[in-house]
Amino acid sequence: MSSVQRLQLGPDAAPIQQGRSSHGRWRAAVQPAGQAPSAPGASDVTLNMIQDADRLAFALAEGPAAALVGERLADLLWTRAPDGDDWPAPVHGWLTDGDTFAGAPDGLTGFVAGRLERNIAGGRIYLAWLGMTGVRLIDRTRSLVDLDLAVLPDEGWTPAGQIEPPVATLHAHHGALYGLERLFVFSTGARPIGSDLPDLPQAELQHALEDWAAEAGRGLAIFDLQLNPLLIEPDRVAVRYRWTSPDTCTLTWDPVEHATGYRVEESPTPAFDEIALLAELTDQRQVQYRLSPPVNSQRYYRVVPINRGVAGTPGEPLAVTPLGLSAPVMEPVRWAVDGGYTLRWSPVAQATGYEIETAPSAAFEPHESAIVYRGEVSEAHLPPDTPPQSFFRVRAINALYAPHAPSDWSRPQQAPARLDTPVFTQVSGRKLAWTPVPGARQYAVHVTPRDQDEGQGDDYFTPETSCGVAGQPAIYRVRALRTPDDARTASEWSEAVTISPPGHAAPTGESRFLAPLMAGAALVALILGAALGAAGLNVYRDHKATAPPTLIPQARLDETATAAARGVEHATAVVQLGAQNTALSGTLQAAIDAEETRAHIPTLTPSYTPDATGTLAAAFDAGLTATAARWTETPTPSITPDATETLAAAFDAGLTATAARWTDTPTPSITPPPGACIARVRDDRIAIVRSAPGPAGVALARLAEPLVVLEQATAGSDTWLRVWLGEQERDGWILARVVSLAPPGCLRDLAGGD
């Protein structure tokens, strides 16, 4: 039991008393009045206080019966626990009991009394006053608490009439102690310093009491209590737990109000007769604790909330039971690189290991099932001799805390029966390539010559994902194998591809397809010929190419020369007509300007020679007229173009000059000469293949590149086109510069170039 401290201050007490307790820091003083009172006993002022660690009661009284009222009222509040619902009924009943104050001095007596309790949640404060207004409460926000301070004149208590005047009531306040910061009361004589009491230090308060008491007719008394923060008992904590790893359990709880920390305790019994402290968490944000419970014995755990060292009610005991494991989720079974199987599943955080069971059917009959894997990782590899189409399932285990309670089995997954089918990724005249197949260690390539049935072909085995191409047209298929003799798990044959190596002609159907494409190429050449002829011919001349045999008749060459001469003639006539129009317009403008000049010159006889007042325009027009008179007329243009020849005329003349060196070949030979180039059209390309003598090779030229048709001729049932391709280099081959388009689908190099 805590010790009880009593304090009683009267007129003969020391000026200021001060101290510190569980309720807070306090100071009290009683200062006698310096002037004689007008009535006997009117200057009596007393202060009584009783406190321990849980309660504090006080009474400040002034008047003739101040000493008696202050002492007995303080004892009443200390010994009797007031009922908050009917407060201040206990004080009112005590004041109106005449037997209690028999023999008390007559006269009005005022008082301020109160009781503080800290031993219940939130604390309590009870105040009552009569005939005095010197009571103040300040909360933690430094604001005054609203109190009933309206006191009637001549209000007080007398032993004979009790409460005066009869209409007066006992003033009171009660509420929670939590949230309050300061309580101070003062007598009527100390009212001048009452408002400043919280801010007055000790020395200044002493001087203020002495100064005001020297001129006052009543004694001065003060009581100032600066309250300690109330430590409210925290609410009870509700604890949960979960397994976060195979050997770790985590206790969790929600934060509670007024808790500044938590204490985690362990006990072998739910009554917590033996308590072991596991952790003292001093941060209110720490609301979880990890531990590893004993493996072979049961333990109980609880959490105690703490508010600044004051422990709250402990939570309910919690027993950590063996963890329940969730079933893993198995992925589809896949082939391994070595031809076996790879099994994967979702990991379970609380598991120390896993077990895989296999069976020939999804029913997993006990006599057919077998455990094929036990391990800690969530992946397993089965060897190549594992039977295909077997069923597999997995479960989680915890050998430490749930050795006899594994999880449920996962949903079964069946192993694949055959490897995946390869897919060709590269098909050319020299090489075949396909996608690698998981689990395949060999690939079978089936080669069938074009003119044979598929069953007559041969199989070629290779561990690589590519192979070469035979020297003759053939059809190719490929499939994946685990081993050459394991046809049961082999993949399906891939789609067939047909390859014709370089130097072999395309099939008839392909030629029929190429004919319309070559006709389109000729049409493109006709459209682009005019724009590219001059540039192409100059390149041809610069390289001094030998003039190839020509298929163009001489009559066509003569028509070309006549058209070139006519173009020159027309160009000269256009130039002459423009000069004549310029001269005519200049002369007419000069006459108009001269007429306007004469109208504005203030002379009676205008001079034919422009004077200083002549305009610049007139002089310029006269100069133009003189220049135009020097033009000469050429009625008959010369066949030979002069410096005014147009680009078209020069090009036509160049064609004529070149054509003069060509020789007419009335009947071209279908068979190309030695060293010539044969070309075929496929898709959007012209493929020119050099024939013997010389090594075989391929060069390509797109139809979208410059293609000019110089001549078209018919020999029997064949149509020939003379085409200009320009000079290009592709992969070390020089394309023919001038070629002829042979019967549908072929180009022949007549220049003999490489």
Mean pLDDT to the nearest integer, 614-638: 48
Mean pLDDT to the nearest integer, 174-188: 90
Contacts of 452 (CB under 8 A, 6+ apart): none
Contact 59/123 with Cβ under 8 angstroms? no
- Strand, helix or coil at 36? coil
- Strand, helix or coil at 351? coil
Count the neighbouring beta carbons within 10 Å of the beta carbon of residue 127. Answer: 23
Strands (E), 640-694: 677-682, 685-690
Mean pLDDT to the nearest integer, 668-674: 40
Q: Cα angle vertex 504, ends 503, 507, to 5°?
A: 150
Q: Hey, CA dihedral for 506, 508, 509, 513, is it positive or negative?
A: positive
In CATH, which superfamily holds the domain spanning 5-227? PPM-type phosphatase domain (3.60.40.10)
The Cα 380–Cα 345 span in angstroms is 9
Fold type of domain 334-414: Immunoglobulin-like (2.60.40)
List the single range of 182-196, 230-244, 344-358 with lowest mean pLDDT: 230-244
Contacts of 284 (CB under 8 A, 6+ apart): 255, 259, 260, 261, 262
- Strand, helix or coil at 655? helix
Mean pLDDT of the chain: 74
Model confidence at 3, pLDDT cuts 50, 70, 90, reads: confident
| CA contacts within 13 A on the Cβ side of 61 | 25
Residue scoring higher pLDDT (631 or 340): 340
The Cα 44–Cα 156 span in angstroms is 14
pLDDT of residue 703: 39
List the single range of 66-70, 214-218, 271-275, 690-694 with lowest mean pLDDT: 690-694
Q: Quick: pLDDT tens for 390-409.
A: 999 999 999 888 888 899 99
pLDDT of residue 680: 41
List the single range of 325-329, 438-442, 646-650, 688-692 with lowest mean pLDDT: 688-692
Task: Say whether pLDDT at 566 is over 60.
Answer: yes
pLDDT of residue 422: 93
pLDDT of residue 557: 62
Percent pLDDT > 90 in the chain is 30
Fold type of domain 239-319: Immunoglobulin-like (2.60.40)
Element (H, E) at 509: helix 508-542
Mean pLDDT to the nearest integer, 59-79: 90
DSSP 8-class letter at 199 = G
pLDDT of residue 591: 55
Alpha helix stretches (DSSP H) within 61-201 = 66-79, 89-95, 191-194
The Cα 92–Cα 157 span in angstroms is 11
Model confidence at 647, pLDDT cuts 50, 70, 90, reads: very low
Task: Say whether pLDDT at 346 is over 70.
Answer: yes
The Cα 351–Cα 291 span in angstroms is 17
- For the chain, the C-alpha Rg in angstroms (whole number) is 61
Q: Quick: pLDDT tens for 121-147.
A: 778 999 999 999 999 999 988 899 999
pTM of the model: 0.41
Mean pLDDT to the nearest integer, 703-725: 53
DSSP 465-484: SEEE--SS-EEEEEEEESST
The Cα 251–Cα 35 span in angstroms is 72
Most confident of 97-101, 270-274, 305-309: 270-274
Model confidence at 308, pLDDT cuts 50, 70, 90, reads: confident
Contact 340/306 with Cβ under 8 angstroms? no
pLDDT of residue 46: 92
Contact 737/678 with Cβ under 8 angstroms? no
pLDDT of residue 55: 92
In Å, how far are 385, 541, 638, 644, 647 from 641, measured between CA atoms?
Answer: 92, 21, 7, 7, 11
Q: Phi, psi (5° rounding) for residue 647?
A: -65, -35
Most confident of 185-189, 212-216, 594-598: 185-189
Task: Say whether pLDDT at 330 is over 80.
Answer: yes
DSSP 242-284: EEEETTEEEEEE---TT--EEEEEEESSTT-SS-EEEEEE--T
pLDDT of residue 709: 55
Contact 337/441 with Cβ under 8 angstroms? no
Q: Quick: pLDDT tens for 43-52.
A: 689 999 999 9
Count the neighbouring beta carbons within 10 Å of the beta carbon of residue 432. Answer: 20
DSSP 181-196: EEEEEE-STTHHHHTT
Residue scoring higher pLDDT (335 or 532): 335
pLDDT of residue 103: 73
Task: Say whether pLDDT at 541 is over 50.
Answer: no
Hey, which residues does 381 pair with through a beta bridge?
A: 342
The Cα 272–Cα 265 span in angstroms is 9
Convert 306-323 to b/e letters by CB count within 10 Å (16 or more is b). bbeeeebebbeebebeeb
Alpha helix stretches (DSSP H) within 601-637 = 616-628
CA diameter of the chain: 164
| CA contacts within 13 A on the Cβ side of 583 | 15
User: Backbone dihedral region of 658: left (phi > 0), alpha (psi from -120 to 50 degrees) or beta?
Assistant: alpha
The Cα 223–Cα 28 span in angstroms is 5
pLDDT of residue 119: 80
List the single range of 301-315, 344-358, 574-588 with lowest mean pLDDT: 574-588
Contact 301/318 with Cβ under 8 angstroms? yes
Contact 236/305 with Cβ under 8 angstroms? yes
Q: Quick: pLDDT tens for 205-236.
A: 888 888 888 877 788 899 999 998 876 778 88
The Cα 546–Cα 751 span in angstroms is 7
The Cα 343–Cα 355 span in angstroms is 12
Contact 102/110 with Cβ under 8 angstroms? no
pLDDT of residue 483: 85
Q: Hey, CA dihedral for 732, 738, 741, 742, is it positive or negative?
A: negative
424-499: CATH number? 2.60.40.10
In Å, how far are 381, 577, 626, 633 from 586, measured between CA atoms?
Answer: 102, 14, 10, 18
Lateral strand order in the sheet of 497-499 = 458-462, 442-449, 474-481, 497-499
Residue scoring higher pLDDT (98 or 727): 98
The Cα 340–Cα 382 span in angstroms is 6
Count the neighbouring beta carbons within 10 Å of the beta carbon of residue 717. Answer: 6
Hey, which residues does 738 pair with through a beta bridge?
A: 724
The Cα 254–Cα 240 span in angstroms is 9
Task: Say whether pLDDT at 693 is over 50.
Answer: no
Residue scoring higher pLDDT (321 or 318): 318
DSSP 8-class letter at 581 = H
pLDDT of residue 98: 67
Hey, which residues does 291 pair with through a beta bridge?
A: 249
Residue scoring higher pLDDT (604 or 34): 34
Residue scoring higher pLDDT (667 or 732): 732
Model confidence at 186, pLDDT cuts 50, 70, 90, reads: very high
Model confidence at 614, pLDDT cuts 50, 70, 90, reads: very low
Amino acid identity at 533:
G
Which residue's structure tokens are 């133009």?
A: 624
Q: Hey, CA dihedral for 612, 614, 620, 625, is it positive or negative?
A: negative
Please measure the distance between the N-terminal and C-terminal CA atoms of the chain and give it in whole angstroms.
121
Count the neighbouring beta carbons within 10 Å of the beta carbon of residue 534. Answer: 16
Contact 499/686 with Cβ under 8 angstroms? no
Model confidence at 725, pLDDT cuts 50, 70, 90, reads: low
